[in-house]
Every structure is written in structure tokens, then in C-alpha cells.
Amino acid sequence: MKRTILNAKVLANLTCTMLLSSATFAYAGAAVVTNSDQTQQLSQEYGQMTPTAVSETTWRAISNWSTDSVSLLEFIADNDEEFELERYVDVLIRDYRDGDVVAQFQALDKTVLDLWSQAMDEASYEDNFLFTRYAAQYKPALFDQWLKNNRALTLAEYLQQQSPQLYETWYNEHAAPKRKGLSVLEYDKTLPSEVYAELKDLLNKLPLGGERSQCACQMITPLTSSGHVVTNYPSSPSNWSDYSSDDSGLSKHKLDFKTTAYGAFHSGDGERWSKHKVYGYDSSINHNSSEFYVKMLCADTNGYDCNQSNTCSGNLEVRGTYAARFHVTGQAKKIWSKATNSHSADGAKFAVDLPGAAPEIVLFNKAGGAAMSYNTGWDINSVLGALKAALGITAAIVSDNPGSLLDGQLASDLITNIAGMITRSGNEATVNSTMRARFDSSDVSPFMLQPNEVYHFTLDSNARVKARGYGGYSDSHFEYGSSGAIMYAANQFTCASGVTPPLPTGLWFYADQSGPDSIASLRSDVETWLSMQLNKPVSAGQSQGLVH
């Protein structure tokens, strides 16, 4: 539920509106609806903070202030103090009947077991214990929510009481400045003056409608040279070529290969031919990426963490799509021609690094490709093998179903580990295929957005091409291209009294690099999804942007 804080100015506006509405009612009932809508709009807008894009240096300052250099869980593990964690978990669950703990977690999030398929086989006390340890490490935001619901001690509070020396060592050497009660303005005496000034402006920012509360929350995103979404891509297309001839001027072989990319979405197009000699080409394109950060900054005007009970929380909805297109051809049908092959593959991994010690969570991870071969001993799966290693794909290679989204009956919609390659043999062959992957938190459940924490999402892609031929004449053509989008919507904020909530915020990035999806269809996907999440029309004419 959204909370609004009203001052005298807005109360006067609302009172005036209500009086006008009452007067109008005597003449035309339809006008009451319009004025009621206006009153509701003023009420919803008041007290909400618009999102802010900050410089990279200011973003680093805010992140360093918020984030522990080493989490308490990591510190315990690094110092072989896991028995303290076990004692803590034992204290947490000693009063629960078998199965109570997992039932409470599932009431908060039905997908809580997505990383532990054997949980609660017997619903024993030991299962409760192991599950609680699992939740503390792999579901930190959900674990914190469970602690609050049960008014239970946090790990930090427990260690302060039971192992103060261990806690003090971590607190003094590794804890974030915000945990120590330091202001974001004062914790680093070496902050450049321009960063200090930007932080001051940020902290003194007023919400829509009037004065801010003592504590105010706003969505923060870094603004880099590549925009709101950090992208890694060549500034110009890359071209590679090779050519040779003999003393008489007769050509022996030739290769032309060009690549281009925008963020994680990339393309490659190559042609190889040779006469009377063996000639091959093998190249991995490592790697392209797009990433975005999500942070809800909650602080007072002096830069101190609000430190209020349940300051503010919200839903973080996330969507990522990746589609790749493959095309290969080969010809070795002239006299003396012996062999030719042509391979093209591409894969992508979408993952999130959540706050705390939880490991990276893979949201989708998939590769696909196309290959043709004739009289060659090359392993057609070796191309995908390189991508599997680079992207961490562990599933067996299976046939792809072009046009599908989440392939297969998976145990969890959160993780998609599928790779596929379409192949064809013959002295002249053409192969076309498509691979698609998608993650949408709307299909499962939103991430829980906590104040002063950093959420980091990354879409990484790798591609590989491979071709070879020999004999009288052999020709190989290989290409790939990808397209897709990443986006988020932060909404459904619930804030304590005296806390100004942030304005619901969306961010997007889309690109087409000779992929199967057009810019128009990608834009439509972004606008449809964000409009639904933010409950307002969204225009996404640019390839990336921030909206509230």
C-alpha cells in the first residue's frame, strides 16, 4: 500500500478540490468522478521521489557506503566459524514444529525451493535446520523478511550477544559505513568536491507535491558513457580478412569476417573459400554484455541511513529476452573438391547478483547454432562446447524448438539450461535456425527490493564461428545475429510512517543486431510490459531509458 504524507499546502489543495466537487454535484454528477480522480492523483503523487541518474563516481560512493566489503556470512565462512551460524540457526528454529519453517517461507514466496529440490523430504527437525541455513545463504532478502515477520534475531544481533569479539572484528574491518552510523557525505574524507555536491543535491531533493519527510527513498541508477544500462560493445564494426595467392597470381584462399555489437546483442558474418589447399578459420567472440543496477536509497538530508523499522520495501519485476538467428551454407561439389564445413553458434546467460553472500542466480542460460559438413572429421558439437564452457551451461545438448521461449518441463522457471544445434551434411547444404530464451519475474514472483542494497543484473553473450575446407574448390558461409531486451520495474512500495516513498520506476534497454526480432517488435514488448507494471502508458522510442 502506498503511503502519502500531507502538509498544509496539499491539504488546502485537497480541501478546495473537495469543495468544488461538492458544489458541482448539485448540477452534474459526472463531474464528481473527474474531480475524484484528480484528488486521487494528487494523493498518489504527493510524497513520492522521482528516480535519479547519478555519475559513475557518485554511484560508486553510494554503493561503497551501502555495501559490506565482506558480508557477515562470508566472514564466518572465511574464518571457519560456521559453528556459530549453526548455533544461530538452531536457536531460530527450536520452537517450530516439523515443516513449519518451510511453510512460512512458501507463504512469502512459492518459489523458495528453486535451488534445493530435496528440501523437506521427511519434514523432520533436521530438514527445518538445513532449510533455514539454505534460506539464509541463498535467499537473503526472503530470510530477512521471515525474520521480521517472526520478530527474530538477525545474525548480526545474535553474534553481538553470543560472540562479540567475532562480530566486532567483522564490524570494524569489513562492515559498510552505513552499518556504522556514518553519513554518505562523511564516511570518505577523500570524496571529490563534485561528488560531495552531487550527493548533497540528491539528499536535499524534494518529492512531487511538497516537503519531504525526515527520511526519503528514491531509486538511483548510474549514468555512464553508454547510458543507464552499462554496455560492452565495439565502438565500430570489427573486420578481419585474410588473402593469399601463388607466384602466378592464382588465388589460394580468402576470408572476410565482420562483427558488430550493441551491448550483449551482436552479429557476425563471414565467408571462407579455398582452392587446392586446406584452409580453416576458428574464432570465439568473447564476450559482449549489458548490465543494469537497481538501488533504492533511503536516507535523511544529512546522509544518514534512516534506521527505521521496515523503512521501505517494494517489488522488483524483471524481464530479459534473447533471440539468436543462425545461417550457414557450404559447397564442395566441383571437380577435385574434397570437403567443406561451416559452423555458427551463439549463447547468452542472464543472471542476478543479489545483496549479501548469496551466489549469482542464473535466470536463463541457453545456446544454439547451425552447422553443415561434408567429408570432414571435425566435431560439430565442439562449437557449442566452447559456449557451454564460457557461459556455464551444464545441460546436455538437445534439439532446439525454434520460436519457443522456456523450453522443456523444467523443475524451476527461474533457470533454463538448454543448448541445441541443427546440423545437415552434404556437398552442398544450407541451414537456418533460431534460438530464444526468456525470463520474466511475472511468471514466478518479484524480487524483494530492500532499502540501501544493490541489485546487479547482467546479460552476457558469447558466439563462435568455425569453417574449413580443401580440395579443388570449397566455399563456406557462416553468420549469426541476436536481438532482445532487458528491463525492470520497481513498484508496490510499502513504507513506514514518516518515510517518503520512491516513485514507481522503470528502466529498459533493447537492441537488434541482425537478430530475429525487429526494433519495432522489441520496442512494443518493452512498452507493453512496462505499461502493465507501472500502470501507465510508456513510450520507449530510444533504445534505452528511465521512466517514472
Please report whether residue 83 resides in a domain.
no
pLDDT value for 295: 94
Q: Which residues of 31-64 are buried (b: 16+ CB within 10 A; e: fewer)?
A: eeeebeeebeebeeebbbbebbbbeeebbebbbe
User: How does residue 383 score in pLDDT terms, banded at 50, 70 and 90?
Assistant: confident
CB 140 within 8 A of CB 147: no
Please report whether residue 2 resides in a domain.
no
Please report whether residue 543 resides in a domain.
yes
Please report whether residue 421 resides in a domain.
yes
Q: pLDDT tens across 425-475, in order? A: 888 889 999 888 888 888 877 888 989 999 999 999 999 899 988 888 888
- Of 107-121, 377-391, 398-412, the poorest mean pLDDT is in 398-412
pLDDT value for 150: 86
Q: pLDDT tens across 253-292, in order? A: 888 999 999 999 999 999 998 888 888 888 887 778 999 9
DSSP per-residue string spanning 282-325: EEEEEEEEEEEEEEEEEE-TTS-B---TT-EEEEEEEEEEEEEE
- Of 34-38, 54-58, 140-144, 353-357, the poorest mean pLDDT is in 34-38
CB 328 within 8 A of CB 358: no
Number of structural domains in the chain: 1
Please report whether residue 236 resides in a domain.
yes
Q: What percent of the chain has pLDDT over 70?
A: 79
Q: Is the pLDDT of residue 408 over 50?
A: no
SS3 of 1, please?
Answer: coil
pLDDT value for 29: 28
Please report whether residue 24 resides in a domain.
no
Please report whether residue 85 resides in a domain.
no
- Most confident segment among 97-101, 150-154, 287-291, 512-516: 512-516
- The average pLDDT across 108-129 equals 66
Please report whether residue 322 resides in a domain.
yes
- Residues 6 or more apart whose CB falls under 8 angstroms from that of 362 comprise 349, 350, 351, 392, 414, 415, 417
How far, in Å, CA of 515 to CA of 483, rounded? 5
Domain residues for 454? Answer: 215-246+254-400+409-547
CB 489 within 8 A of CB 319: no
pLDDT value for 42: 44
Q: Is the pLDDT of residue 33 over 60?
A: no
Q: Is the pLDDT of residue 121 over 60?
A: no
The mean predicted confidence, pLDDT, of the chain is 80
pLDDT value for 355: 83
How far, in Å, CA of 427 to CA of 374, rounded? 5
Which DSSP helix (H) or strand (E) runs through 391?
helix 382-391
- The average pLDDT across 511-516 equals 96
Q: Which three cell numbers stand for residue 58?
A: 557518485
How far, in Å, CA of 153 to CA of 156, rounded? 8
Q: Is the pLDDT of residue 509 over 80?
A: yes
- The average pLDDT across 216-230 equals 91
Q: Is the pLDDT of residue 375 over 90?
A: no
pLDDT value for 14: 27
Q: What is the DSSP letter of 212?
A: P
